[in-house]
Structure 1
């Protein structure tokens, strides 16, 4: 089995480095994006204590009786609580199996922003639904989302540099973009019972948008990445580092020079029946009125896709994942 190239990138070195250091980092990232589509980021400046506090607050929400969470219930793509069984991820173009829905529950939130376009704002910038029972979650999560957004800007700059584009190429096309912030709870085996054959905490899939910024906890039932030869490998974990992957829209934009890689979260493990994990996930997008056309070679990889409006693309993907 091949080993996926998933490097550790120190973003602080980009923020403070000279032109030579920045170029070396961008070249390294380009190689990883062609191989695995994943990398780790250290030096991001997001306080691990903040992340721990978010998890503690989220755990209090998830621990509420079902009837107290019910008023917050939403659909995939909405804002609020997604109960276990509400979402079934699958690889793009393959039908999701609703009978094997993902073994997770989520609190899904988003960017508090107005583009000034009423149609875009009404669909993509819905009001957040913060649980009144855990009032501190809004304050803590808002700080995290703002810091992750700043990191996103830096990462888009690095990625544009890696392609030899102007530094602001991607960043300027994502300033009015939504993001989705998911707090995913992966319950223990003692709660879910044994998974069905082919059922996962999150089924094999690719993400939809530009970049995903993930703060995860290590565990037996953790993240795996599909290698180029079709096998599955455990994603590396470095304490304090965030896991980043490019998603389908960015891969499409590069004409598949870069790889949006299938990944999955393993089902609750028999080896640790009490293992419960909470992931904090930021799905970062392009502007919804942005038309995405593959970059021409030699910058792009040569794959041919019809131009697509970002909003149309996301509507299709959200509908496919809904149970």
Structure 2
């Protein structure tokens, strides 16, 4: 259901058409795929995760110095986010903590920069995290632009069809910690580590850990299935903005992260999640039929995304 695509033939130039064809098929059928051959060093992924764990292990009063709410840069404590609200489902808050950083090269317009390009804040108590996260961000932005170039090839479009709108893009890097049941207690009815939702932007690059309380994807047949895991691979999916851009040729697929499981009460997981978008003022015009399946009215990316972020903010 979620296929694996090796990007090595794309980067080497030996079979770019084949890679693009497989990506198109995955996004039409599943909206998700696994990618290997991406070129991001395993050491960087492991270091970023380990330093993140060191932050989440700090006392609550220490982490509270960095507390923000959805859309901010810093620590998102338990209780501030409920992703299920994005699809109109009232759920208890998600059982997670996050540390969030993102794009900070502003456009010089205060009301835009104050939200979309806030200065990143890193914890002084884990001094190495700043450098690791900045390197990870640079790698993720480069990989995401490469994926957008593959997307253009998959649709037989100009190579810069999507990336011409990412000269100064908005993006967010969320480090999610899913605490064990021994810490958070028994989940409430309808409570998840992350409630059912679709992502909002263009492409999401996820570095996850396997676990019983892990990622599930909603199939085209209306069933929840455990997402496959490969430690060498990133999990890739598109968001609502890209689905809209392609006239629903590609699926922005519902997914969720299960609550901690009674069978693994000590399980805790850390996910590194890069949400890529576009320039804040990009006008998104649907690729209607025959390339897409439908045609949506144009939207301005930042206006569309701000509504989505507001929807998941608790309180």
Q: CA deviation at 1:118?
A: 4.0
Structure 1 residue 122: deviation in Å? 2.6
| Distance in 1 between residues matched to 2:61 and 2:234, nearest whole Å | 34
SS at match of 1:81: strand
Contact 1:164 1:299 survives alignment (8 Å): no
- 1:1-323 to structure 2, matched below 5 A, reads 4=1, 6-18=2-14, 21-90=15-84, 92-97=86-91, 100-302=92-294, 304-323=295-314
CA distance in 2, matches of 1:245, 1:93: 17
Distance (Å, rounded) in 2 between the aligned partners of 1:53 and 1:308:
38
CA contact (8 A) 2:85 2:312 kept: no
Cα offsets for 1:64-99 (capped at 9, x unmatched): 1111111211110111110011100026441433xx
- Listed one character per residue, the Cα deviations across residues 36-82 of structure 1 (whole Å, up to 9, x for unaligned) are 10011111121112211112211111111111111211110111110
SS at match of 1:275: coil
Q: Structure 2 CA distance, aligned partners of 1:108 and 1:314?
A: 17
Deviation, 1:318, is: 1.0
Q: CA offset at residue 251 of structure 1?
A: 0.2
* Residues 171 and 277, structure 2, Cα contact 8 Å, conserved in 1: yes
**SS of residue in 2 equivalent to 1:85:** coil
Distance 2:305 2:120 in 1: 19
Aligned pairs, how many? 314
Structure 2 CA distance for aligned equivalents of residues 92 and 188 of structure 1: 25
Structure 2: gaps (5+ residues): none
Per-residue CA deviation, residues 87-138 of structure 1 (Å, 9 max, x unaligned), is 00026441433xx100000001112323344443232100111011111000
Query: Contact between 2:117 and 2:170, CA under 8 Å: does it hold in 1?
Result: yes
- 2:71 and 2:115 in contact (8 A); partners too: no
TM-score (norm. length: structure 2)? 0.97
Q: Distance in 1 between matches of 2:3 and 2:129?
A: 32
RMSD: 1.3
Report the 3-state secondary structure (helix = DSSP H, G, I; strand = E; otherwise coil) of the residue aligned with 2:186. coil
Q: Retained in 2: the 8 A contact 1:91–1:262?
A: no
CA displacement, residues 144-187 of structure 1 (integer Å, 9 cap, x when unaligned): 11111111111001101111111111011122111100000000
Q: TM-score under structure 1 normalisation?
A: 0.94
Please tell me whether the aligned partners of residues 102 and 120 of structure 2 are also in contact (alpha carbons under 8 angstroms): yes
